[in-house]
Amino acid sequence: MRKKILLTAATGLEIAPLNSFLKAQEGVDVLISGIGGVGTAYRLTRRLAREPYDLVLQAGIGGSFVDRYAPGSVVVIGSECFGDLGVVEAGQRKSVFDLQLEHADTPPFTGGWLPNPYDALMDLTGLERVKGVTVNEVTTGADTIQHFKNNLGAAIESMEGAALHYVALSEGAPFLQVRAVSNYVGERDKSKWALKESISKLHEALERIIGVFTS
């Protein structure tokens, strides 16, 4: 039986190089979720309620907190969290779990994180696994960058990743989140971003992953 894949991205730009490849694929649907966690959660939940998939593959660009993952790198996210779900108090950022407003193991969370339990799928990508943090406002402040990098141990920032993990875990849908690094977090001079290179590298990784998964 043919495997069914839902390829989802925040914007069409992020997967545009795949258009000709996708036209030749059977069993691959595309969902453009819009930017941010709310739109992603809404549109992805609606789609999964109507139709089951063997793999939900979220693809996009993201910012890196660490030199190891320079612009142009491609990674798979092994665990995600919401970076702005909480409060900044006396200069310290605290999550809803720190504040004991929610138990850290309330499903689908595990210790306040949203891990991807599909090890075989992540191995299939051939990419390094890293931690991701999701925000609805792009991070620019040095204190927040240090918190996400040092306290949370996050390597990659996006605006949709945790929504994917939350919905897919809740729905029992096998999933992968693949990110290509376009810039370092905090760098707002887009002339220093590797946008074209990162999308090209993302395209190469996605074509390989889809090919291996459907073979």
pLDDT, tens digit (0-9, with 9 covering 90-100), for 191-204: 788 999 999 999 99
pTM score, whole prediction: 0.95
Phi-psi region of 30 (alpha: psi -120 to 50; beta: other; left: phi over 0): beta
Residue 81: CATH number of its domain: 3.40.50.1580
**pLDDT computed for residue 138 by the predictor:** 85
**pLDDT computed for residue 205 by the predictor:** 97
Q: How confident is the model at residue 215 (pLDDT cuts 50, 70, 90)?
A: confident
Work out how many domains the chain is built from and give that number. Answer: 1
- Measured CA to CA, the distance from residue 116 to residue 169 in angstroms comes to 8
Asked whether the beta carbons of 31 and 168 are under 8 A apart, the reply is: no
- Measured CA to CA, the distance from residue 215 to residue 145 in angstroms comes to 40
**pLDDT computed for residue 23 by the predictor:** 87
Q: Is the omega angle on the peptide bond into residue 107 within 30 degrees of 0, that is, cis?
A: no
Q: Which residue has the higher pLDDT, 81 or 188?
A: 81
**For residue 207, which of 21, 55, 28 has the smallest C-alpha distance?**
21
**pLDDT computed for residue 14 by the predictor:** 95
pLDDT, tens digit (0-9, with 9 covering 90-100), for 83-135: 999 888 887 889 999 899 999 999 999 999 999 999 999 999 999 999 999 99
pLDDT higher than threshold 80 for residue 62: yes
Strands (E), 92-200: 92-95, 114-115, 129-134, 156-158, 175-184
Mean pLDDT score across all residues of the chain: 94
pLDDT higher than threshold 80 for residue 44: yes
Domain range for 10:
5-214
